[in-house]
Amino acid sequence: MNIEDFDFDLPEELIAQTPLKDRTASRLLVLDRQKNKIAHRHFADIKDYLREGDCLVLNDTKVLPARLYGVKEDTGAKVEILLLHQQEEDTWEVLAKPAKKVKIGTTIEFGGGKIRATCTDLKDHGGRIMKLSYEGILYEILDELGEMPLPPYIKEQLPEKDRYQTVFAREEGSAAAPTAGLHFTTELLDELKDMGVTIAFITLHVGLGTFRPVSADNIDEHEMHAEFYHMTKETAETLTEVRESGGRIISVGTTSTRTLETIARDHGGKFVESSGWTDIFIYPPYDFKAINGLITNFHLPKSTLIMLVSALADRESILHAYHEAVKERYRFFSFGDAMLIL
């Protein structure tokens, strides 16, 4: 398929710049795949579409305040880095800006030397391997010095770091939030549990690969950046029980979907405890092996994410739903409204 098959017109003013005060107050577009019908609701109405025996799968990754501003030790030139993922101990893959200033052997100081980072290797697209040195606990220092790595299309400052974090985030290591999960509150999750909906957790640390533009005209030629995932034995057993009892498995977000589909693909359709790196790229046509439904935000034109949702419904239905969302002035992207595909 061609990348142009996944294009649509999106007015810039529909890109949400700030989160709503109430997480559940966002709008919800519901797409019924069987009837090919659309309903316009609010996110709190998600309860009307879930039933006893269903299972919601949430990504419990926690976003690091991983954007750091520092200076080169030798020249004092300003450099920004974004921590992408930890390779081993204090060695990290980062994105440097401006990358041309960071060569092998370059040392950058952050917070007056609270963190020192020395470049040990060069990667493509501004990527660098950096060895960090510091005293104390890195995550505590990042809380002090770092900024949340908001997507480039968000121009506003975020007054509260926690607003770019899900209420169930617990596994440190993500470069971006699993934004479909931002709509949930603890109270809403408790209400769903009381209805008999099971809540299960997986972990996928979101990297920039999820959002990297598709540069190839033929999408078959696009390569995804690998991201780390983990499923516990408890979650694997829960999902197996839900499936065997006839419940629906509904993933919250494309990151949860990619994790579940990776595990099911690699284990003959079964859910098993596992960890690893996935570069799965889901686009039409694709035979889903793990999920029955998806809660997601509205995505960028020509992105791998709109390709994924187009594989779950079908491209024509998704583009029609997106056309309706634009017409009805839905809010798009990370802080935007939500979509439920069943």
pLDDT grade for 149, boundaries at 50, 70 and 90: confident
Q: How many alpha carbons fall within 13 Å on the CB side of residue 210?
A: 26
Q: According to the model, what pLDDT value does residue 121 have? A: 96
Q: According to the model, what pLDDT value does residue 210 have? A: 57
Q: For residue 109, what is the enclosing H or E element? A: strand 107-110
Q: Is the pLDDT of residue 90 over 70?
A: yes
197-206, 216-225, 282-291, 309-318: which has the minimum mean pLDDT? 216-225
Kind of pairing, strands 249-252 and 107-110? unpaired
pLDDT grade for 221, boundaries at 50, 70 and 90: confident
Q: According to the model, what pLDDT value does residue 207 have? A: 81
Per-residue CA distances from 23 to 42, 123, 152, 181, 238 (Å): 11, 38, 22, 10, 27
Burial of 265-304, coded b for 16+ CB within 10 Å and e otherwise, reads eeeeeebeebeeebebbbbbeeebbbbbbbbbbbbbebbb
Q: Is the pLDDT of residue 158 over 70?
A: yes
pLDDT tens for 222-251 read 888 889 999 999 999 999 999 999 999 999
d(CA 81, CA 102): 10
Q: Is the pLDDT of residue 100 over 70?
A: yes
Q: Is the pLDDT of residue 104 over 90?
A: yes
Q: According to the model, what pLDDT value does residue 153 have? A: 81
Residue 314 CB burial class (10 angstroms; 0-12, 13-18, ≥19): middle
Mean pLDDT of the chain: 94
Percent of the chain beyond pLDDT 90? 84
Q: Hey, what are 290's tokens?
A: 């793990």
pLDDT tens for 253-269 read 999 999 999 999 999 99
146-150, 184-188, 212-216, 323-327: which has the minimum mean pLDDT? 212-216
Q: According to the model, what pLDDT value does residue 213 have? A: 67
Task: For residue 255, give the nearest of 217, 285, 299, 221 by alpha carbon.
Answer: 299
Helices (H), 56-213: 138-145, 186-194
Given a contact cutoff of 8 angstroms between Cβ atoms, the answer to whether 185 and 23 are in contact is yes
Q: Is the pLDDT of residue 212 over 90?
A: no
pLDDT tens for 3-15 read 999 999 999 999 9
In this prediction, residues 153-179 reach a mean pLDDT of: 88
In this prediction, residues 71-78 reach a mean pLDDT of: 95
Q: Is the pLDDT of residue 29 over 80?
A: yes
Given a contact cutoff of 8 angstroms between Cβ atoms, the answer to whether 72 and 101 are in contact is yes
pLDDT grade for 164, boundaries at 50, 70 and 90: very high
Q: Is the pLDDT of residue 154 over 70?
A: yes
Neighbour count for residue 169 (Cβ, 10 Å): 20
Q: Hey, what are 95's tokens?
A: 């994105």
Using the Cα atoms of residue 42, residue 43, residue 45 and residue 48 in order, give the sign of their dihedral.
Answer: positive
Residue 194 CB burial class (10 angstroms; 0-12, 13-18, ≥19): exposed
d(CA 338, CA 182): 10
Q: According to the model, what pLDDT value does residue 63 have? A: 93
d(CA 332, CA 12): 9
